[in-house]
Amino acid sequence: MVSAEAEQAQQFRQEVRAWLMENLPEGWGTPQYEAPEPTTKEFHELGQSWLRRLYDAGYTAFNYPKEYGGVERPVWQIQIIAQEMTRTGTPPRPMSNIMVAGPTLLQSGTEEQKKRFLPPMLRGDECWMQGFSEPNAGSDLANIQTTAVRDGDEWVVNGQKVWNSEWQFADYSVLVLKTDMEAPRHRNLSYFIMDCKSPGFTMRPLREITGREWFCEMFFDNVRIPHENMLGEVNMGWYAAMRTLVTERNGSGNLENVDVSAGQGVSSIGGTGAIVEMAKKTMRRGKSLWEDAAYRQRIAQFAIESTAMGHSGARTAVKIRKGIDIGHEVNIGKHFGAERRIREADLILELLGTGGQLMRGPHSIDKGEYATNMLWVRCGTIAAGTSEINRNIIAERILGLPR
Ligand X SMILES: Cc1cc2nc3c(=O)[nH]c(=O)nc-3n(C[C@H](O)[C@H](O)[C@H](O)COP(=O)(O)OP(=O)(O)OC[C@H]3O[C@@H](n4cnc5c(N)ncnc54)[C@H](O)[C@@H]3O)c2cc1C
Q: How far apart are the first and last CA of the chain?
A: 54
Q: How far is CA 222 from the centre of its chain?
A: 31
Which of 18, 81, 76, 33 is closest to 55 using CA atoms?
Answer: 81
Q: Does residue 143 bind ligand X (CB under 6 A)? A: no
Q: Distance (Å, rounded) from C-alpha 119 to C-alpha 127?
A: 11
Q: Does residue 389 bind ligand X (CB under 6 A)? A: yes
Query: Which is nearer to ligand X, 375 or 389 (by Cβ)?
Result: 389
Assess contact for 337 and 266: CB atoms under 8 A. Answer: yes
Which of 219, 217, 215, 199 is closest to 207 using CA atoms?
Answer: 215
Q: Does residue 338 bind ligand X (CB under 6 A)? A: no
Binding to ligand X (CB under 6 A) within 147-206 occurs at: 163-165
Q: Residue with CB nearest ligand X?
A: 138
Amino acid 340 reads R
Query: Which is nearer to ligand X, 79 or 164 (by Cβ)?
Result: 164
Which of 63, 72, 125 is closest to 94 using CA atoms?
Answer: 125
Query: Which is nearer to ligand X, 139 or 354 (by Cβ)?
Result: 139
Stretch that binds ligand X, among 1-9, 310-318, 350-358, 380-388 (CB under 6 A): 380-388
Least distance (Å) between residue 14 CB and ligand X:
36
- The one among 82, 223, 352, 379 contacting ligand X by CB under 6 A: 379
Q: Does residue 48 bind ligand X (CB under 6 A)? A: no
Q: Does residue 38 bind ligand X (CB under 6 A)? A: no
Least distance (Å) between residue 64 CB and ligand X:
21
Stretch that binds ligand X, among 4-12, 130-138, 196-204, 282-290 (CB under 6 A): 130-138
| Residue 202 bridge partners (DSSP) | 219
Q: β-strand 172-178 against 128-131: which pairing, if any?
A: parallel
Q: Does residue 132 bind ligand X (CB under 6 A)? A: yes
How many other CB atoms are found less than 10 A from the CB of residue 89? 17
Stretch that binds ligand X, among 5-13, 113-121, 123-131, 347-355 (CB under 6 A): 123-131
Least distance (Å) between residue 130 CB and ligand X:
4
Buried b (16+ CB within 10 A) or exposed e, 345-370: bebbbebbeebbbbeeeeebbeebeb
| Residue 221 bridge partners (DSSP) | 158
- The one among 7, 56, 388, 396 contacting ligand X by CB under 6 A: 388
Binding to ligand X (CB under 6 A) within 244-303 occurs at: none
- The one among 155, 215, 220, 290 contacting ligand X by CB under 6 A: 215
Q: Does residue 23 bind ligand X (CB under 6 A)? A: no
Q: Does residue 39 bind ligand X (CB under 6 A)? A: no
Query: Which is nearer to ligand X, 235 or 392 (by Cβ)?
Result: 392
| Binding-residue total with ligand X (CB under 6 A) | 19
- Sign for the CA dihedral angle at 106, 112, 113, 119 comes to positive
**Angle at the Cα of 251 from the Cα atoms of 249 and 252, rounded to 5 degrees:** 65
Stretch that binds ligand X, among 119-127, 329-337, 344-352, 386-394 (CB under 6 A): 386-394
Least distance (Å) between residue 90 CB and ligand X:
20
Q: How far is CA 175 from the centre of its chain?
A: 18
Which of 258, 211, 235, 219 is closest to 85 using CA atoms?
Answer: 258
Q: Distance (Å, rounded) from C-alpha 38 to C-alpha 369?
A: 11
Q: What is the contact surface with ligand X in residues (CB under 6 A)? A: 129-133, 138-139, 163-165, 215, 379, 382-383, 385-386, 388-389, 392
